[in-house]
Amino acid sequence: MNALRTALPLAIAYLRERTMATLLNIALLALGVGTIIALILTLNQAGQRMERDAAGIDLVVGAKGSPLQLILSAVFNVDIPTGNIPLADAMMISAEPMVKRSIPLSLGDSFRSFRIVGTNPSYLELYDAQIAQGRVWNKALEAVVGAEVARATGLTVGSKFAGAHGLGDGGGDHGDQPFTVVGVLKPGGSVVDRLIVTSLDSVWLVHEHEISAAGASTAKAADAHKHDENREITALLIQYASPMAAVAFPRRINAVSGLQAASPALETARLFTLVGFGISALKLFAGIMMVCAALGIFIGLMNALNDRRADLALLRVLGADRATVLLTVLIQGFALGIAGVILGTLLGHAATEWMGSLVGKIHRVPLTGWTWAREELWVIASALALTLLASLFPAWRAYRDAMPELLSRT
Amino acid sequence: MQVELSGLRAGYGGRVVLALDALSIADGEHTLVLGPSGCGKTTLLNILCGIDVPVSGSVTVSNVRLDTLSVSQRDHFRGRQIGLVMQRLHLIPALTVEGNLRLAQKLAGFKTDDTHIRGTLASLGIADKLTAQPRQLSQGEAQRVAIARAVINRPALILADEPTSALDDGSCDSAIDLLFSQAKSCGATLIVATHDQRIKPRFSRVLQLSKAAA
């Protein structure tokens, strides 16, 4: 205890004496720790989101194109759709005995970059979305908005808004066919928070009008039957009746011209292997920074040992035992480690929050730094272990070499 | 008795550097150890403060048999009982004057006592240097701080190794004055090892060592 009382202020004085080297070591360690923590937080949140958003969806049927794009657009609502499929085909697939539940989706419009999804109420059930205010739509042009949409746009029950064509901002709007908000959803942590949900009819109505307006005023609603036959949806979310369906069912759909089936689980896995290389490279880079920081601490302590031979001898002359000398060096390394880890953890969370605010504005994908991940503890522990390892040898050298001498003898 | 040596043989690597069959120094009997370089003066101081142990013979300082203690017991003894003024003053550059003195108190296992630190600096005429860095001190000021560090724990024995050899005549006198007055105020016995003949008249007891002793 007395050794600690003596060694701690001395170690701090030594670190302050070499301000530049101390700051460099702390910065290097903090950058390494911060980078890894930011990666962990981002990946964890993305992974949890994807798992939540894809839960209960075994298969997505949509237009031919990239299967990854189909999943990204229909399940996670981040990419643009691959195209549309005939409603008739979707109805046939829904009637298959292997299909337990199927949910049609019709995408294409947005409001202030929040997507408007035409579907049926089972979409809300899929995500267990609860109504906070109002009710679910019961006729065309009524809409329910997610919690995040309500928060960001100020839409509440009774508000009217016009959807814009396209999924980003800046498309021409459908000002003459405004939606009425009839319900606001509770926040549920799923993709629905960021969606405006309405009936399929609403989406069709908005676009029918567009078509008929373009085709001049030739007999409005001339034949509703013809419309019905030509109706299209963007994608169909499917839940299997039995896991056995995964074997043959997608293959049968892919054989139909114009249709493709994609599995969220497979495509997400593929996405992670695609970005996995970049993530591994970043992690490696951050790891190298941490090792460099440890090396810097090692070299710094070894140099200091040579510069302070006289100090060590004096400490012994003044009555320090060798354990105190050992502790002085060890504390210097460990103090750098603790400072670097604290700074790095703050940096990692701040960087994640900052990225979240940037990404959130553009893609409406939530990412926050105000959260913890269990893996962070591993990063912190290994960074501390690394600095301790880096200080062990210098500390032992000091322990061994600290001989008391009356300095006139040299 | 402050110091009692008997049958002492000390040296390194089988070579005897110092041989003293008997030496007794009473409490308060300030002693000058005089001799040319290489005669074993520093070896004698090393043994008296427990840095080295003799090859044979017994060493008793302040009624403690140093030659029977372990290394860390001797470290502890030195921290509490011995004040050392070395030729190279060496204050720790990373610490202030106050920090250096506090360090000496902590290393001896005592509580830090800022009042005592200020009082000691004042008695040496350098009260204003409390928060100075060692590199800001003149040679004379640094020596006073080194003396303050040697007496800060009120040791029983003050050992000074060549404290005056680098000083001019005036500074030499005042350095010895300070050592005497500080030894008196903490009730310590002073032993000075030097080849500096100028201070010989100041001591009532002189121990002359020669190379022939080996």
pLDDT: is A355 or B15 the higher one? A355
A179: containing domain: 59-262
Q: Based on the fold, state whether residues A301 and A178 are members of the same structural domain.
A: no
pLDDT number for residue A173: 73
For chain B, what is the domain count? 1
Domain end among A238, A262, A286: A262
B41: containing domain: 27-53+70-208
Complex-level ipTM beyond the 0.85 threshold: yes
pLDDT number for residue A406: 63
Q: Which residues of B157-191 are buried (b: 16+ CB within 10 A; e: fewer)?
A: bbbbbbbbeebeeeebebbbebbbebbeebebbbb
For chain A, what is the domain count? 2
In a domain, A268, yes or no: no
pLDDT number for residue A365: 73
Digit-by-digit pLDDT tens for chain B (214 residues) are 889 999 999 887 778 888 999 999 999 999 999 988 888 888 899 999 998 899 999 999 999 999 999 998 999 999 999 999 988 888 999 999 999 999 999 999 999 999 999 999 999 999 999 999 999 999 889 999 999 999 999 999 999 999 988 888 988 999 999 999 999 998 999 999 999 999 999 999 999 988 754 4
Contacts (Cβ under 8 Å, ≥6 apart) of A401: A305, A309, A312
Of B71, B72, B87, the CB nearest to A407: B87
In a domain, B204, yes or no: yes
In a domain, A297, yes or no: yes
Q: Based on the fold, state whether residues A69 and A212 are members of the same structural domain.
A: yes
Mean pLDDT of A271-280: 89
Mean pLDDT of A174-199: 91
Mutation target to probe the A interface, by most A beta carbons within 10 A, among B39, B92, B114 is B92
Residue of B nearest to A316 (CA): B75
Q: Kindly report, residue by residue over A43-79, the tens digit of the pLDDT.
A: 999 888 889 999 999 999 999 999 999 999 999 998 8
Residue of B nearest to A312 (CA): B92
Which pairing describes strands A164-165 and A195-199: parallel, antiparallel, or unpaired? Answer: unpaired
* Bridge partners of residue B189, in order along the sequence: B157
Specify the amino acid at residue A81: P
Residue of B nearest to A322 (CA): B72
CA angle A32, A36, A40 (to 5 degrees): 170
Q: Based on the fold, state whether residues A34 and A75 are members of the same structural domain.
A: no
Q: Based on the fold, state whether residues A113 and A211 are members of the same structural domain.
A: yes
Of A14, A17, A408, the CB nearest to B162: A408
Q: Based on the fold, state whether residues A292 and A223 are members of the same structural domain.
A: no
pLDDT number for residue A33: 96
In a domain, B11, yes or no: no
pLDDT number for residue A170: 60
In a domain, B14, yes or no: no
Name the residue with tokens 């990946």: A43
Tell me which residue of A207, A233, A209, A204 sits closest to A221, measured CA to CA: A209
Tell me which residue of A129, A50, A70, A58 sits closest to A100, measured CA to CA: A58
In a domain, A361, yes or no: yes
pLDDT number for residue A150: 94
Q: Based on the fold, state whether residues A204 and A352 are members of the same structural domain.
A: no
Q: Kindly report, residue by residue over A118-163, the tens digit of the pLDDT.
A: 999 999 999 999 999 999 999 999 999 999 999 999 999 999 999 8
In a domain, B83, yes or no: yes
Q: Based on the fold, state whether residues A98 and A43 are members of the same structural domain.
A: no
Q: Kindly report, residue by residue over A191-228, the tens digit of the pLDDT.
A: 999 999 999 999 998 887 665 555 444 444 444 445 56
Mean pLDDT of A7-15: 92
Residue of A nearest to B102 (CA): A6
In a domain, A182, yes or no: yes
Provide, as residue numbers in chain A, all residues whose Cβ is less than 8 Å from the Cβ of B44. none
In a domain, B39, yes or no: yes
Of B42, B75, B106, the CB nearest to A406: B42
CATH of the domain at B156: 3.40.50.300
In a domain, B41, yes or no: yes
In a domain, B2, yes or no: no
- The overall average pLDDT reported for chain A is 89
Residue B179: alpha-carbon gap to chain centroid: 10
| Interface touch B88/A408, C-beta < 8 Å | yes
* Bridge partners of residue A248, in order along the sequence: none
CB atoms inside a 10 Å sphere around CB A355:
16
Measured in angstroms, the CA of A369 and the nearest CA of chain B are apart by: 39
Alpha helix stretches (DSSP H) within A55-146: 67-74, 87-94, 122-126
* pTM given for the model: 0.81
pLDDT number for residue A4: 87
pLDDT number for residue A197: 96
pLDDT number for residue A389: 95
pLDDT number for residue A1: 67
pLDDT number for residue A326: 93
Measured in angstroms, the CA of A330 and the nearest CA of chain B are apart by: 17
Whether the per-residue pLDDT at A101 is higher than 70: the answer is yes
| Interface touch B107/A17, C-beta < 8 Å | no
In a domain, A269, yes or no: no
| Interface touch B78/A404, C-beta < 8 Å | yes
In a domain, A189, yes or no: yes
In a domain, A267, yes or no: no
pLDDT > 70: percent of chain A? 91
In a domain, A270, yes or no: no
Of A17, A310, A321, the CB nearest to B75: A321
Domain end among A235, A262, A289: A262
Domain end among A236, A262, A288: A262
Q: Based on the fold, state whether residues A168 and A204 are members of the same structural domain.
A: yes
Of A320, A324, A405, the CB nearest to B51: A405
